[in-house]
Chains A and B, each alone.
Chain A
């Protein structure tokens, strides 16, 4: 069985025909939508608008809502949580979601304010998490992320959009454990459909470009995998994606439909910074310096090679385990080099 991901153009007819086309490509059973109550999670967690490639375009969500309503969905709600500089309610208003919701008779739920249950997860990062009571009444989850680059993890798309399902306003305590946090949140809120807004894409910080794509799939890992290919990146260089692939029970078998990846590669000079951990940066400096010392030059080069790929080995490692992970990673790195 393949994980289908459709890549379609946003043509002159707008998002509606693009979505219809993409749904047909992935053989989405629209009859199955009848009577469903649907949660839509766009990415509204930024201070900029969709034209700057950082928040989900309200017109894409409106087109999606129109298709869902046309196919008999009984109830639709759009959800977002507060972020550190603003509230979800303010973002709904600022980005046009409030007007759209009134127009389309759709509910807006601020996850940070809604009365909630305390769900016990015993996950990799969350012991428990608050979940709005109202969520229990919905049975279909569509994540509508924005396709964009990200300073810490190269790209942010389908999997990372669920970070906003954590209702806490200040979420930074989870950034150091992003892979684990996303793993837990995606386990709880496993999207049944992913619709990616790739119309205007942030290709570098504060640089947006019109790409004019919409991606649709049912598996968020497969969608993120395709997104990395669009940026011509190694999927395993995206720490959280590598983490998901590691714990995946079935092998990823992506079938790309619609446009070919090679026809719509997104050019960017964006490169992820070195591993943000102080320890790794320090190690990097030491090993760089050691390269200049004659006696350890060879070792230094080897280590330097490892450092360049370190994030592959250290993805998702908590800070206090970085040193043993580095040692273990270096052994794997050496073994792989020797194997070659």
Chain B
């Protein structure tokens, strides 16, 4: 018999409705117990749609005995207060990225989760893309003098009514989307620091940001993050003395390609692609990993500590921009 964990969801915005709730229901090891949101109407509608319990607030949800894990899918500004209550009730936490609104809150969250002995995982989904995993495995074959270019470009900015346009809730292209690429680059290259940044502001948040990082192992990277791009792109290109590897992040496709040209046995063949076919999407992989960590009491791939390092680097990029 499959061992199940009871899950409660806090925050019922787009991330919950479009991404997490449908997949939570399809995960055999999960029983969706209840949901809650600041909007009472949305809470009742969602609870009715999924036939689960509606809670008036996250405190009630976290206190409920049948809930083993809490999915925090609120804007970043609310992550800390929900996580604090979840830790007090010893509930495992899956938290959307970035871990918190600021590093102080993030550090406290990590500390409290550690003291409570619970799993704290942060949702950097790009790490669960098999082509990103393959790219990471191919890095040693690229030789020295590595350089990387990443792009996360979207043609349509988010609705201005959403938290993404409010700095006080955790908005901003870099804070909200760019953090994915910061995490990915840290995963690939280790500890780094910002060396250059440029931002295009609209009202109180950045809508387009380009930044350069230099990592302790000598790798240099350049990233473009934008909500106002004419094209849609989410890609990474890494090159070294022995060749290059390029791939793109995609949620829905079942065939992912990693293009490369390496000075290895295939160097005469020009650019070739490795095809990865996987019907399981990246969000399902992410949830599966969280479940596995909870059931086996393991440290997740993106622990609170890891996500805190991402947040610190993002904060350093913003600080550098303020200095300019």
Contacts and interface: CB of A to CB of B under 8 A. Distances in A.
A117 B262 CA distance: 15
Q: How large is the interface on B (under 10, 10 to 19, 20 to 34, 35 or more residues)?
A: 10 to 19
A258 B138 CA distance: 43
B273 interface: yes
B277 A118 contact: yes
B275 A135 contact: no
B267 A188 contact: no
B267 A128 contact: no
B264 interface: yes
A89 B38 CA distance: 64
A138 interface: yes
A136 B262 contact: yes
A39 interface: yes
B141 interface: yes
Nearest to B269: A188
Interface string A244-280: 0000000000000000000000000000000000000
A187 B267 CA distance: 10
A119 B265 contact: no
Interface in A117-165: 117-121, 128, 135-141
Contact of A139 (B264, B272, B275, B277): B264
Q: Of residues B263, B264, B267, which shows the largest number of chain A Cβ atoms within 10 Å of its Cβ?
A: B264
Nearest to B138: A136
A135 B265 contact: yes
B274 interface: yes
B18 interface: no
B265 A39 contact: yes
B263 A139 contact: yes
Contacts of A136: 138, 141, 262, 264-266
Contact of A120 (B141, B257, B268): B257
Contacts of B257: 120
Given A120-B272, A121-B272, A188-B272, A140 B265 contact: yes
A190 interface: yes
A59 interface: no
B276 interface: yes
Contacts of A119: 272-275
A333 interface: no
A118 B272 CA distance: 11
A140 B264 CA distance: 7
Contacts of A118: 274-277
A118 B274 CA distance: 6
Q: Of residues B266, B267, B268, B276, which shows the largest number of chain A Cβ atoms within 10 Å of its Cβ?
A: B266
B274 A137 contact: no
A135 B267 CA distance: 12
A248 to B, nearest CB: 14
A19 to B, nearest CB: 21
A189 interface: yes
A340 B267 CA distance: 44
A137 B139 CA distance: 12
Contact of A190 (B262, B263, B269, B275): B269
Contacts of B275: 118-120, 128
A193 to B, nearest CB: 12
A141 B274 CA distance: 20
Contacts of B263: 139
Contact of A188 (B138, B266, B276, B277): B266
B274 A139 contact: no
Interface string A176-214: 000000000001111000000000000000000000000
Contacts of A187: 268-269
B201 to A, nearest CB: 42
A140 B138 CA distance: 18
A185 to B, nearest CB: 10
Contacts of A135: 264-266
Q: Of residues A135, A136, A141, which shows the largest number of chain B Cβ atoms within 10 Å of its Cβ?
A: A136
A189 B265 contact: yes
B264 A138 contact: yes
A30 to B, nearest CB: 19
B77 to A, nearest CB: 43
Interface string B251-281: 0000001000011111111001111110000
Contacts of B141: 136-137
Nearest to A117: B274
B269 A120 contact: no
B273 A139 contact: no
Q: Of residues A138, A139, A140, A189, which shows the largest number of chain B Cβ atoms within 10 Å of its Cβ?
A: A139
B269 to A, nearest CB: 5
25 contacts: A39-B265, A118-B276, A118-B277, A119-B273, A119-B274, A120-B257, A120-B272, A120-B274, A120-B275, A121-B272, A135-B264, A135-B265, A136-B264, A136-B265, A136-B266, A137-B141, A138-B265, A139-B264, A139-B265, A140-B265, A141-B265, A188-B272, A189-B266, A190-B268, A190-B269
Interface of A: 39, 117-121, 128, 135-141, 187-190
Shortest 10 CB-CB distances between A and B: which pairs? A190-B268, A120-B273, A118-B275, A117-B274, A139-B264, A138-B265, A141-B265, A188-B269, A120-B275, A187-B269
Given A120-B272, A140-B265, 9 more contacts: A117-B274, A119-B273, A119-B274, A128-B275, A135-B264, A136-B266, A138-B264, A139-B267, A188-B272
